[in-house]
Amino acid sequence: MKRLEQWGHDLEWADIIQDLESLQETTIEENDKRLAVRTECVGTCGKVFQSVKVAIPPTIKEISPCMQEIA
């Protein structure tokens, strides 16, 4: 909250939690490729990521074989 205030943002904690929980990522496999796809960054998400100086994950990214989950 301190960092948000430093950036001039006055956000409600409940809104922050709701918006961050709505940010999801899923993995799609097709033709021997794996892609990570995330939902749209809405509401307070952009301001929260900016305030803590963390880049918003890309909407779509290819997952290399070394990053695949171990079954």
Domain boundaries, the chain: 2-67
Mean pLDDT, residues 18-46 = 93
Residue-averaged pLDDT of the chain: 89
pLDDT value at position 49? 94
Q: Is the pLDDT of residue 71 over 80?
A: no
Q: Is the pLDDT of residue 33 over 70?
A: yes
Ordered alpha helix ranges (H), 1-71: 2-6, 13-22, 45-51
Q: Supply the pTM of this predicted model.
A: 0.71
Pull the structure tokens for residue 60.
Answer: 């779509």
pLDDT value at position 54? 94
Backbone angles phi, psi at 62, to 5 degrees: -80, 140
